[in-house]
Structure formats: C-alpha cells, structure tokens
C-alpha cells in the first residue's frame, strides 16, 4: 500500500510538471514548481538569441546555453526571482529598463529598494549571496519604452508596466501575436506592490492597459504561465484582490489600530508564516502602501500612532 501511494504521488507530481512550449520563435521555458517563487518562467527568442528572466530551471538553462546561442539577457524587472541564475551568463550583455537598474549593482541598494528594515538585513544578506547567488551587475544598455525592436524572427514592442516596480515591463511580440506580462501573473494571490517605489495606483493602471492590448497568447512569469484564450474574468479577479485587502483594512479600522496590529492581522498572507524576515516584511510593506493610499484619499486618518476611519 505504501508503495502504491508513493507511485500515485509521483504520478501526480509528474502530471503537474509544466512542459516547454514553442510559440513560433518564442520559447516558453517553465520554472520549477510551476514557476512559483523563488523561480519564474523564462522565455527564449530564436534567431535573436535573447533569454528573458533566467530563473526557471538551472539545469535547463545550462543545457540551453550549450545548445543554442545566447546573445543577450533581458530582465523584465529587478526582483531576485527573475535573476536567480544570472550567474550562468556573467559574460552575456544584460538589458533592463533604466528605472530598475540600480538594485542590480549593489546588495544594499537592492535591500533599500525593497525597504528592508535593518533588523531583517542580517537574514537577507546570506540568503541573497547564497540561494540567489547575488553578483553585482550593471546593464550593458537599457530597453526603451515604446520601442519596436527588430529581432529578426519577430518584432517586439517594449511596453512600460510600472507599479510592481518602477521599470517593470511587458513585451508584445508581433509574431506570434503574444503578450508577455511578467509579474502581472493573474494568480489568485494577486499583485505585489510592496517595494519602496511600487504603486497600487500604477499597478491598477498597468493591468488595465495590458488587458486592453490585443493578443492571441498571454504569458506570465508565474504559476499557470500560458493563457491561450483571453483571460476574461481573471483580470477582474486579480485586481479585486487589491480591493479585498483594502476593505479588510477599513473594516479593522472601525476601531483604531496601531500599525503593528494591522500587520499582525495577516491580510496579505492570510495567517502567520515563518520566517518573519520574509512574510512579516511583506505584510508590513503592503500595509504601508495601503495606508498611504487611503490617507491620501482622506479615507483613513492617524493620531497618536493609531489609524482610524471617521463615522
């Protein structure tokens, strides 16, 4: 019986493994564990030899480098789960939007961009030097918003999609009419907008901009990854996560609360999780963004370290 259960579990795991797929010159290279953090899905563009977001599967990327030419690395943005295996391509030119370049060049700037408290940095430093193999990189040139880039086998339009990060981009491939949306992944978790320069408002604007672009295939960086029919209600569900988080905050603030009490409510992750330096950081970062937005809209007020709503 134990052997049978083991075989069934292995079969289920294998059946869930995502397959590499080719859409004309655009190769979809799935990340481990369905591209969930700390991995993401990668793209490879034939002829141009461009690898986008090298954080999918280390063994597959090593094989890819051996089998096909890789002439440039493009990053959709600066986050660690999109550059985890960048060390395999130290000698390959690197491209990114200029707004997202500074965190690549220094680990302290990287943590500054996240807004990591000093109490957590002692945990982040070994994590990023170890698991993420953080090395200093400076882009060889910048991707320019709005440009159509001729890649030989296709053309691609560089579409600014800030909010997640200030230089987060999407890519619209003319052939095969494919939109790569990077970290606007339409997942049930919803958007991340907790960095110092992230923006809830820009996130909403960017997602709405992307949903209004025509395409036949939509690819995201995490989880399902490939959508071959228009995502439809998934756009609304994804953005509605923001409103659900906000409404939970407003409900809590019917009674004045300190910032720490909002963090401890675990609105982002649903329940306390470990380690604190990752999950509590995420809760703090997002509660701060929501409070900034709600106070700017005069829907939440603060007095003596407590936040509240009127009426």
Quote the domain boundaries for residue 302: 252-308
What span, in angstroms and rounded, lies between the C-alpha atoms of 278 and 265?
16
Q: Is the predicted pLDDT of residue 19 greater than 70, yes or no?
A: yes
**Domain with 184 in it: what CATH number?**
3.60.15.10
C-alpha 274/C-alpha 47 separation (Å) is: 44
Mean pLDDT of 239-251: 98
pLDDT of residue 229: 97
262 and 224 within one domain: no
Residue 128, pLDDT above cutoff 90: yes
297 and 213 within one domain: no
Q: Determine how many CB atoms are found less than 10 A away from the CB of residue 177.
A: 14
Number of structural domains in the chain: 2
At residue 5, does pLDDT exceed 50? no
pLDDT at 1 over 60: no
Positive or negative, the Cα torsion across 270, 273, 278, 283?
A: positive
Task: Give the confidence band of 11 by pLDDT, cuts at 50, 70, 90.
Answer: very low
- Residue ending a domain, among 202, 231, 260, is 231
Question: Is the pLDDT assigned to residue 15 strictly greater than 80?
Answer: no
Question: Which of left, alpha, beta for 53 (phi over 0: left; psi -120 to 50: alpha)?
Answer: left
Q: Is residue 221 part of a domain?
A: yes
Whether residue 246 is contained in a domain is answered as no
- Going by pLDDT thresholds of 50, 70 and 90, the confidence category of residue 136 is very high
């Amino acid at each position: 019986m134990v052997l049978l259960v083991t075989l069934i579990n292995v079969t289920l795991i294998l059946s869930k493994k995502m397959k590499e797929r080719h859409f004309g010159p655009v190769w979809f290279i799935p990340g481990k564990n369905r591209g969930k953090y700390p991995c993401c899905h990668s793209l490879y563009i034939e002829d141009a030899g461009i690898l986008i977001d090298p954080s999918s599967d280390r063994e597959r990327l090593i094989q890819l480098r051996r089998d096909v030419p890789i002439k440039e690395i493009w990053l959709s943005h600066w986050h660690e789960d999109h550059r985890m295996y960048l060390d395999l391509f130290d000698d390959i030119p690197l491209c990114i939007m200029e707004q997202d370049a500074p965190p690549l060049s220094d680990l302290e700037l990287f943590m500054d961009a996240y807004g990591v408290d000093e109490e957590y940095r002692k945990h982040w430093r070994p994590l990023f030097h170890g698991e993420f193999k953080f090395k200093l990189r400076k882009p060889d040139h910048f991707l320019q918003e709005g440009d159509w880039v001729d890649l030989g086998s296709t053309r691609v339009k560089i579409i600014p999609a800030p909010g997640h990060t200030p230089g987060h981009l999407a890519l619209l491939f003319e052939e095969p009419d494919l939109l790569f949306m990077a970290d606007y992944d339409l997942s049930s978790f919803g958007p991340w907008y907790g960095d110092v320069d992230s923006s809830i408002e820009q996130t909403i604007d960017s997602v709405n901009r992307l949903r209004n672009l025509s395409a036949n295939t939509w690819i995201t960086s995490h989880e399902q990854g490939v959508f071959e029919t228009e995502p439809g209600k998934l756009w609304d569900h994804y953005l509605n996560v923001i409103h659900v988080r906000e409404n939970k905050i407003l409900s809590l603030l019917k009674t004045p609360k300190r910032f720490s009490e909002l963090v401890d409510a675990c609105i982002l992750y649903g329940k306390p999780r470990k380690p604190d330096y990752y999950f509590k950081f995420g809760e703090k970062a997002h509660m701060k963004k929501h409070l900034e937005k709600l106070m700017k809209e005069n829907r939440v007020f603060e007095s003596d370290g407590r936040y509240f709503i009127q009426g």
